[in-house]
Structure 1
Amino acid sequence: MRTVYFNRKSLFLLLVVIGISVLCIITILNSNNNSNNIFENKGNNNILINNENFQFNVKDVNARKLLTNNNIDNDKAIFIKKMMKHAWDGYKKYAWGANELNSIQKMASSQEIFGGPRMPATIVDAADTLFIMDMMEEYKEAEEYLLKNFKMSDAIRSLSVFEMTIRFVGGFLSLFALTGKEFYKTFAKNVTDTLLVSFNSPTGLPYNIVAPKDNRTMNYGWVTNSAHILADVGTLHLEFDYLSHITGDPNYREKVINARNIIDKQKKIDNLYGLYLSKDDGHFITREVSLGAMGDSFYEYLLKEWLISDKKDNIAYEMYKKASINIRKKMIIKSNGNFTYLIELKNGKILNKMSHLSCFAVGMFALEAYHSTDENDKKEIMELAEELGYTCYQSYKRSKTGLGPEMFHFDSNQDAISLSGEVQYFLRPEVIEGIYYLAKLTGKDKYKQWNWEIAQNIEKWCRNEAGYQGIKNVYNPEIGFDSTQQSFFLAETLKYLYLTFADNKISLNKWVFNTEAHPLPIH
């Protein structure tokens, strides 16, 4: 064996070479590691990706580490998971087991609709998102809490039949479908059984509210004549039907089919459904039609009832198809600036405004087009979905924050701008939801870019130390923030953002999302 001797200069040069080699190896390993922490304090960055300039407004994004394995969509999905992690950790630290998080005051926040402060709306709403995102440590936290603590006896105040169905029943059913764990089915049944008393009405339409302690039922007093609300009575079908399917008890399905039949037999308003139905006989008591608040998810569920039945529920499809034709004939307008939008109708008058909530229709029309067997309809309806999607996206682009208001208007001077006091952003999902469907069903990359921009703007303007907050004025954010981290932010907003970039997680040919973004299997 030959012995080699080094002088000091040679030894120094050798150490330098070794050091540089080690640094190169570390850099390569970091760049190829998909699970790298992309949140480091590197300041704002502009990145050129596929010849597109992405403005990173997020204060702590490390631009170099954003690109891993040349899989840009995967990196964006990781980014959304980090947002979910921050929202979940804040809720866990400051509001664990409560309805929602007050992210500004770092405390629990409660809403009357959930039956009391001990009903864990955020945990139920978020759990399937955690599961879908493969955040298994956080998912296990949710599962263990629910298994040990969830009970309907904690519902000591009034329950919204609509909200409890879409959030709690839908959430538990989705978890059962995703995991196969029987206790989720039991939880879904327990909640639904508590709500069944709401159907004991003169019409068979469910009341809006159940007081579980004494089984009292009622409608909201602020509605004219305490009427039923279209969306509330018409957005229960997916959940009740699937519960019948997995329990073998037809009673749940029969309740919602009867309610649907009652709604359909009423005299329509220009062949459209009114927002309010008489609590005495079910007729429409006003001539108001909208795909925004009070009406939206009724139409959504007609289409999805057909889809989740594997296209066997022809009554649902016929009801939807007639409604869709009349919506397209009577409620779609182009502005002077060539923006396509959904109007509202009130006593025969046109209201030239569109709500954030009504942007759900982008996804509804995209699904209709995708499943249409008529090539002319398929093309025409998908074009409508894309035009409405562009309008909803522009309602975001035209604000200082890049986030959209509750309501936006159209007149001879401006388009997609809020003219009233409805300038808040409450972490809502509907615009993101519509863009998600466009991205998946058209395959066009621009829609992914739109949701990526929105994700960055949420991170820039809505993130705080404890979680996420709403904005009181999207045009003037200095006015202040709304403190509630809504449970639907974790159930819907972040889920649709994540799924925009995560391929093959939830196939739209096998699953149908309820209106709270809880996926239920086609059966």
Structure 2
Amino acid sequence: MARPFRIRNIAVCAILIIFLYRFLPSADVVAPFHGHSHGGGPQPLAQYMNDASKIPHIVASKSSFAWNTVKFMYPPELTPKLPPPAPKRPRIQHIFKPESASVAAIQDKRRLEIRRVFGKSWASYKKQAWMKDALKPLSGQFVDQFSGWAATLVDSLDTLWIMGMRKEFYEAVEAVASIDFGKSTSSRVNTFETCIRYLGGLLAAYDLSGHEALKVKAIEVGDLLYSGFNTENRMPVDFIEFEDAKKGGGLYVEDTVVSASPGTITLEFTRLSQITGDSKYYAAVSKVMDTFYDHQNETKLPGMWPMYVSMRRQDVVTGYQFTIGGNADSLYEYLPKAHALLGSTSPSSAKYEAMARNFMDTAMKNLFFRPMIPGNEDILISGNCDVLESGEGELTPSLDPESEHLSCFIGGLYALGGRLFENDSYLKTGVKLARGCMYAYKSFPAGIMPERYNMVLCPSAENCKWDEERWVSERQKRKEWKEHLPKGFTTAKDPRYILRPEAIESVFVLWRITGQEEFREAAWDMFQAVANATDTSFANAAVLDVTIVDSKQEDYMESFWLAETLKYFYLVFTDPDLISLDEFVLNTEAHPFRLSKS
């Protein structure tokens, strides 16, 4: 008599398990903390499969030098104060419906394969290069190129958390807690790289886990970087003279830097102010961005800034080369993202929306082009624009149809801007730009786009039919052309793939924003091509030539392979609630910062 009852119980349990599996977050989906109001850190919240009693007690050791004790010769102003969080933000992500069991099984299989690849690289880093900046994936050696503070370890913290690798995460936290930011393997510290990799990595890992040791170390790095503002005009240096910075006598601002360097501090310093309640970081970077804001419409291409600027002279106007690619990319990336993080509740934060809209309108008119390709697909590629004086003294913009892998972030950024600013034109442009990079990936024999390349420019977006003779003619004009280039491409100026994340970044964002299956399928094709071409006995290595199959590799694997590229691939195949774009904004190193709520 008991048997039917037991069968019913088993059936009910089976149904319940299926329900929990499909509709409750899995171990690698849920972060056990939610955001907090202005001036505070995360607040603990019991979550599925996160046992607070198993979190190890780790205390951060103090570095050999306390950066918060430096007496500045030129102390930065302490205003404006950090504004309160935005009262309301528009919805960013697509509303996803539950998938069938068969579709979910496919995505889970893909997700686990990506995690396997990450796990292999991480295990090799831990065995061969632990506490070093990067693993060399062919020789198994290591390199310290970012001050020797274990860049790969810090950069990978949030990826470990996101992938549910809790044991490895807390092992890494224990190691990070011992890093001495008072010593450096180099005499000069790169402000940009230290900000996006170290400070960004620590802030994101703290936002996800709430572990206090990470906050302590983030403040140490933040104060180190803050010393770079101890200059006569309070503009940041590009490289911090490490020992001079400790003395507080003032640093010398370089005359010329790439515009991305001073333009890529906003998110990290703002989030540090939000977490600590100390406005000094926000105030310092706000002054820098005021310089860009005040002169945005005075350049040769109003709305954008030249590739090179002088923070010493506070000259962001002089120059004729304009791009959203390398040297300038994250300056533009941070404008809509700063708006997402801050909102527009005060004059100091309202400028980010204004700058974002202005640059996005300008780039649409002057940098993006439809390439001539055999299938006549309606895609966009981001080029470069030189603005030179004509014989009559007039300024004439000239579009150069050269693009690069670094530019591929722009599709995702336009899609994000389309949602943030409720602008359908931005979103449609973002879709076409993302498809442009997807097209470049599938066009080359390795299934991967090259680092830098040229295409044939269509006469106009409307007049764009394939012309074989014109393609041959345009190709032969280029000294870098090769016989085996795909049709539509006239060069592969730099045929390498160095494990960059920008293309999959946009594909991830477009998947999350549109829910269109084409982006998830493209992501899987891209991952298989990348994993196959870059695999080594230790991890994954840069590829020297994607224009051929089975290219030689280079003994090179930067930390962004683990911090960005594999993270973006992984997030495409997870529950969309994991790092929801309605709850996080990601810095240029793919580190998610939690959006504060009022």
Q: TM-score range by the shorter chain?
A: 0.7 to 0.9
One-letter amino acid of the structure 2 residue matched with residue 409 of structure 1 = N
Query: In the TM superposition, what are the counterparts of 1:128-277 in structure 2 within 5 Å?
Result: 128-215=158-245, 217=251, 226-266=255-295, 267-271=298-302, 272-277=304-309
SS of the residue corresponding to residue 493 of structure 2 reads coil
**1:232: Cα distance to partner?**
0.5
Are residues 1:362 and 2:411 paired?
yes
Are residues 1:341 and 2:385 paired?
no
- Note if contact 1:202-1:279 (Cα within 8 Å) is conserved in structure 2: no
One-letter amino acid of the structure 2 residue matched with residue 509 of structure 1 = D
Query: CA offsets per residue over residues 151-210 of structure 1, 9 Å max, x none?
Result: 332454321101100000000011111111222111111112112232234543312101
**1:473: Cα distance to partner?**
0.6
**1:490: Cα distance to partner?**
0.4
SS of the residue corresponding to residue 176 of structure 2 reads helix
SS of the residue corresponding to residue 505 of structure 2 reads helix
1:102 paired residue number: 136
**1:478: Cα distance to partner?**
4.6
- Note if contact 2:253-2:312 (Cα within 8 Å) is conserved in structure 1: no
- Note if contact 1:68-1:75 (Cα within 8 Å) is conserved in structure 2: no
- Note if contact 2:235-2:312 (Cα within 8 Å) is conserved in structure 1: no
- Runs of 4+ residues over 6 Å off in structure 1: none
**1:212: Cα distance to partner?**
1.2
Query: In the TM superposition, what are the counterparts of 1:256-335 in structure 2 within 5 Å?
Result: 256-266=285-295, 267-271=298-302, 272-283=304-315, 284-310=317-343, 312=345, 313-335=349-371
**1:446: Cα distance to partner?**
1.1
Are residues 1:350 and 2:399 paired?
yes
Deviates more, 1:145-154 or 1:319-328: 145-154
SS of the residue corresponding to residue 139 of structure 2 reads coil
- Note if contact 1:241-1:253 (Cα within 8 Å) is conserved in structure 2: yes
CA distance in 1, matches of 2:314, 2:214: 34
The alignment covers a number of residue pairs equal to 447
Are residues 1:384 and 2:433 paired?
no
Percent identity between the aligned chains?
28
Alpha-carbon spacing, 1:445–1:320, altered in 2? closer, same or farther (3 Å): same
SS of the residue corresponding to residue 238 of structure 1 reads helix
1:428 paired residue number: 500
**1:138: Cα distance to partner?**
1.6
Query: CA offsets per residue over residues 340-359 of structure 1, 9 Å max, x none?
Result: 21121123332111111111
**1:149: Cα distance to partner?**
3.7
Alpha-carbon spacing, 1:134–1:400, altered in 2? closer, same or farther (3 Å): same
SS of the residue corresponding to residue 415 of structure 2 reads helix
Give the TM-score normalised by the residue count of structure 2. 0.71
Are residues 1:511 and 2:589 paired?
no
1:90 paired residue number: 124
- Note if contact 2:586-2:592 (Cα within 8 Å) is conserved in structure 1: yes
**1:248: Cα distance to partner?**
1.8
Query: CA offsets per residue over residues 87-131 of structure 1, 9 Å max, x none?
Result: 1011111111110000101111222xx12xx32000001111000
Gaps of 5+ in 2: 1-20, 27-100, 388-396, 457-469, 472-485
Query: CA offsets per residue over residues 299-342 of structure 1, 9 Å max, x none?
Result: 11010011011454321001111111111112222223354211
Query: CA offsets per residue over residues 246-287 of structure 1, 9 Å max, x none?
Result: 112111001110000012222222212111122442223311
Query: In the TM superposition, what are the counterparts of 1:441-452 in structure 2 within 5 Å?
Result: 441-452=513-524
CA distance in 1, matches of 2:383, 2:121: 35
Alpha-carbon spacing, 1:69–1:501, altered in 2? closer, same or farther (3 Å): closer
One-letter amino acid of the structure 2 residue matched with residue 275 of structure 1 = M
1:52 paired residue number: none
1:55 paired residue number: none
Give the TM-score normalised by the residue count of structure 1. 0.81
CA distance in 2, matches of 1:149, 1:252: 22
Larger relative contact order (CA 8 Å, sep ≥ 6): 2
Gaps of 5+ in 1: 1-32, 36-66, 221-225
- Note if contact 1:367-1:437 (Cα within 8 Å) is conserved in structure 2: yes
- Note if contact 2:108-2:574 (Cα within 8 Å) is conserved in structure 1: yes
Equivalent residue in structure 2 for 1:71, among 94, 100, 105: 105
Q: Whose helix proportion is higher, 1 or 2?
A: 1
Query: C-alpha root-mean-square deviation of aligned residues, in Å?
Result: 2.2
CA distance in 1, matches of 2:105, 2:202: 33
CA distance in 2, matches of 1:70, 1:174: 28
CA distance in 2, matches of 1:463, 1:202: 49
Equivalent residue in structure 2 for 1:474, among 531, 536, 546: 546
Alpha-carbon spacing, 1:441–1:479, altered in 2? closer, same or farther (3 Å): closer
Deviates more, 1:97-106 or 1:145-154: 145-154
